[in-house]
Amino acid sequence: MTGTELRKPALVAVAFLVAMVVIAILLAGANPADIVYGIVERALFTRAGLLEALMRTIPLTIMGLGIAIAFKARIFNIGMDGQLIAGSVVAVVAAPLLPANVAGIVLFLGLGFLGGAVWGGIAGGIKARFGGNEIIATIMLNYVAVQMLSWLVRGPLQEKMRIIPRTDAIDQALRLPVLFDGTRIHAGLIVAVLAVVVVALVVMRGRFGYRLAVVGSNDHAAQYAGISPSRMAATVLVISGALAGLAGAVEVAGLYGRLQEGFAPGFGIAAIAVALVARLNPLLVPVSAFGFSLLYSGLGALARNGVVPFPLINIMEGAIILIFLAASIALRRGPGGMRGASANG
């Protein structure tokens, strides 16, 4: 089956999805053109919207990198939300023991990394040791993590005042410094940039990257090349979990200064869309993350003003993933691609 034979049905799918989003907007009594204009205007041409988007880009980039690594090995980690929580919890619990200086900040982030790695590692162990499906394991661990956080911020970790279900603020010295005066853009931006560089080097140059590619292509090839797919699966889940935990620690140290429920809603799911649209390329992940952040920032403003209900964002995320899937098929060049194209033209 060549790519060109599927071009037309792929384009039909794209048209259908675009129509679905347009109809959804019309059903809300809004004008699709206004919505697009509103998103672009708020996200790109207002200072507040742009800064909000930039801030959200930080965790989405770090987590998108984790998804990209995992999906490259065909390991589907849907549990980044839980891993993010686990990482932030470990970091915040240990925060009082950390030195109040730059080393403390690094340790704080390192503990987040570690906590996420452990939570991802549970699913990794189940996959590697017992062959348990990682999609189900990571999803189930999400629900466990959410409940644990709910208990912690109402119970043992609750602030001394015991009014709001949240922890006390971490030491000011452990907070990530603001990079630009008058904004809330914090040093997490540097962490995100470093993460992109490291992951890109590892995936594109290193032996590990080669192993990822081999395992991702198929299990038999991996076995032939002397790579154990199950050990690779565990490693990949640990790494992507660690990145989710790091993103959580960055959010806590950079923005909130404490733990509370629902402090990073749906980031794990959004990171999947980010990585898929970036076609699992680490260098494109920040671009894709910024794009989705603009969408969130712009649509969020419209939703707050009651123009359209907010779940439109999930419809658009789903549609965007499917449109990218279909587009990659429509643009694929199979054998005889040119002939097919001229025959169609």
| Contact positions vs other proteins (CB under 8 A) | 1, 6, 9-10, 13, 24, 27-28, 76, 78, 122, 126, 129-133, 135-137, 139-144, 147-148, 150-151, 154-155, 269, 272-273, 276, 309-319, 321-322, 325-326, 329
CB of 151 to other proteins, least distance (A): 4
DSSP assignment of 44-100: HHSHHHHHHHHHHHHHHHHHHHHHHHHHHTT-----HHHHHHHHHHHHHHHGGGS-S
**Is the Cβ of residue 12 or residue 178 nearer to other proteins in the bound state?**
12
CA 35 to centroid of chain Cα atoms: 25
**Is the Cβ of residue 47 or residue 162 nearer to other proteins in the bound state?**
162
Give me the count of residues in the chain: 345
Q: Which amino acid is at 63?
A: M
Tokens of 220: 């038999």
CB of 50 to other proteins, least distance (A): 25
CB neighbours of 271 closer than 8 A, spacing ≥ 6?
60, 63, 64, 66, 67, 80, 244
**Is the Cβ of residue 78 or residue 212 nearer to other proteins in the bound state?**
78
**Is the Cβ of residue 54 or residue 276 nearer to other proteins in the bound state?**
276
CB of 198 to other proteins, least distance (A): 26
CB of 53 to other proteins, least distance (A): 20
CB of 152 to other proteins, least distance (A): 9
**Is the Cβ of residue 223 or residue 328 nearer to other proteins in the bound state?**
328
**Is the Cβ of residue 151 or residue 224 nearer to other proteins in the bound state?**
151
Residue 43 burial class via C-beta count within 10 angstroms: exposed 0-12, middle 13-18, buried 19 and up? buried
**Hey, what's the torsion of the CAs at 106, 260, 168, 184, to 10 degrees?**
60
**Is the Cβ of residue 289 or residue 316 nearer to other proteins in the bound state?**
316
| Backbone Cα Rg of the chain | 21
Run of H or E residues at 30? none
Say what angle helices 80-94 and 47-72 make with each other, to 10 degrees: 110
CB of 10 to other proteins, least distance (A): 6
DSSP bridge partners of 178: 186
CB of 12 to other proteins, least distance (A): 9
